[in-house]
Amino acid sequence: MSVIDPEIELAIGAHLHNEISALLKDMLHFVKQSLGPAPEKRLDDVQCVSYELAYVNAELYAMGSMLDYANNALATFGAAGQIPETGLALTFVADTVIKLRGRFERIRHEVGLSAPVLLSVFEAPELLGFCRRHGAPARLEEVGRAIVESGECGRSLLDDEKAIVASSFARFTEGVVAPLAEKIHREDLLIPDEILDGLVDLGCFALAIPEAYGGTAPASGHDNLTMVVVTEELSRGSLAAAGSPLTRPEILCRALMAGGYEPQKERWLPGIAQGRPICGIAVTEPDTGSDVAAVKLKATPTEGGWLLNGAKTWCTFGGRAELLLVLARTNPDPKAAHRGLSLFLLEKPAFDGHAFEFGQDGGGVLSGKAIPTLGYRGMHSFTLFFDDVFVPAENLVGGPEAEGKGFYLTMAGFAGGRIQTAARACGVMRAAYGAALRYATERSVFGKPLSEYQLTLAKLALLGATVRACQEMTYNVARLMDQGRGQMEASLVKLYACRATETLTREALQIHGGMGYSEETAVSRYFVDARVLSIFEGAEETLALKVVARDLILNASTPET
């Protein structure tokens, strides 16, 4: 790679990050002021602007994560940290700056950003020079060649403990999951016992549960970083069959812990830590999607408990699950909105196959039918129908005082699900990128390997930088969550990483050419699996508008003068 002074270039990158962040702060304040004295009531009037601002913030967070990564790599590896760690980071920053200008230009009239102010930042000589140095084709070619030579898009900076965890689960992924993944996908099979039993033996289901209840999480809280590392490695083998079985118990256990009702924690958590019962989440409904507050499934009081009536959809693993976390409306008054929802734990037998019906002794019937899907095969996502399904009173999550608190407990569960989904995205990304890198070095066209062409090398550089950025920002948010913070950032990184995975798997497939479109290559599976990531655990539009942008705008402060 060409000689640069890494410390100077990284300092310039940090300065650009600060300049653009200041612009974002000004825009957020302008939008907040434009909405009047009660901005929270008018946020839907500025959805297009809010969506762009959410992505601006996500891209800035990714930039900051990459700059931190490069500085840490230099501190760890010295001058060797330039190849390719610093190159990846600087390339990523330059590429992101170029994209950000387009976002700002698109909405500048709606956010009070004048042309002179925009130009003062994006036409500044320092910025233009930086982008010329690190975004030029020749530079991208250099970074791509360094990746080809090293065989990886930057070295991991995880500590020794987490590196050992990653290595252990990588062996399981390569030895057990990968050989089964294609058959599960092509034949739409249920996850085999070889994988589920292996996940139990490795303690995967115990990661979200404190030691006092038979898990491995510290008493002070969740070990999110370990969960992220494990999920990423498993998802590299199969998104549905290995990376995703951990998500449902993670959500359920977080909701149960947030409810704080000791008898329920003592009853359920030790068994879940051992992988029994298998868990499912029944929150989404056919007419509500990501609008959790609009849930309609009714829970009506009856002797000794509640009767559930209505439908749920996209209940992943709903057939095999033996314990369902069900969100239902206990207050039928429409004015109660999200405050009229409660969470329940419903026990049921495990069923294989694509359909089931479970009749209770009291006459209640729960039936389910698997939804045919483009990808994400192995767990089967079900539509469920509840007809007077009985749930005992003691299965109201949070205990007798928790009626009406279901929405908040669900959100507590989903925060963990979102950071874990970002980790799942990173795993799929790494799998697709690794396949593309191998194919590019092995496949020759017009007399030489694909990896010797400038365009292929540029793609490998930009895609490799994206993989590393998503990994680093996911690790950063996991660390925040381990400190009891980072709830909004969990949605932010899920928003960014899942969309990035779609783009990356598309390009990985493209590098494979016609073979990429064939099911003979795993990259076709990565491509269709990636599409679901921006939909479940909070659709990207919902996260952008209702979580990220809402938080940014309502908490916008007056810019410093």
Residue type, 28: L
| Residue 259: both structure tokens together | 């409810």
Contact 472, 493 (CB under 8 A): no
| Residue 93: both structure tokens together | 């920053």
Q: Are strands 279-282 and 323-329 parallel, antiparallel or unpaired?
A: parallel
Cα–Cα–Cα angle for 304, 309, 315, rounded to 5 degrees: 110
> In degrees rounded to 5, what are phi and psi of residue 368?
-150, 150
| Residue 393: both structure tokens together | 């009173």
Q: Is 551 exposed, middle or buried (0-12, 13-18, 19+ CB in 10 A)?
A: middle
Using DSSP, state whether 318 is helix, strand or coil: coil
CA dist 496 and 379 (Å) reads: 25
Provide the phi-psi class of 57: left if phi over 0, else alpha when psi is between -120 and 50, else beta.
Answer: alpha
Say whether 233 is catalytic: no
Annotated catalytic residue: which of 472, 489, 537, 540?
537
**Nearest to 383, CA basis, from 393, 373, 391:** 373
CA dist 456 and 211 (Å) reads: 48
User: Any alpha helices (H) in 221-362, and if so which ranges?
Assistant: 224-237, 247-259, 262-273
**Nearest to 231, CA basis, from 500, 497, 434:** 497
Bond preceding residue 277 cis, omega within 30 of 0? yes
**Nearest to 39, CA basis, from 49, 491, 108:** 49
Helix (H) or strand (E) holding 108: none
**Nearest to 299, CA basis, from 410, 393, 383, 401:** 393
Angstrom CA distances, 149 to 4, 441, 448, 458, 462, stand at 20, 10, 16, 14, 16
Kindly give, in sequence order, each residue whose CB lies less than 8 Å from that of residue 490, ignoring residues fewer than 6 positions away: 415, 416, 418, 419, 422, 477, 481
CA dist 73 and 205 (Å) reads: 33
Using DSSP, state whether 518 is helix, strand or coil: coil
Centre a 10 Å sphere on the Cβ of residue 387 and count the other Cβ atoms it contains: 16
Active site residues: 537
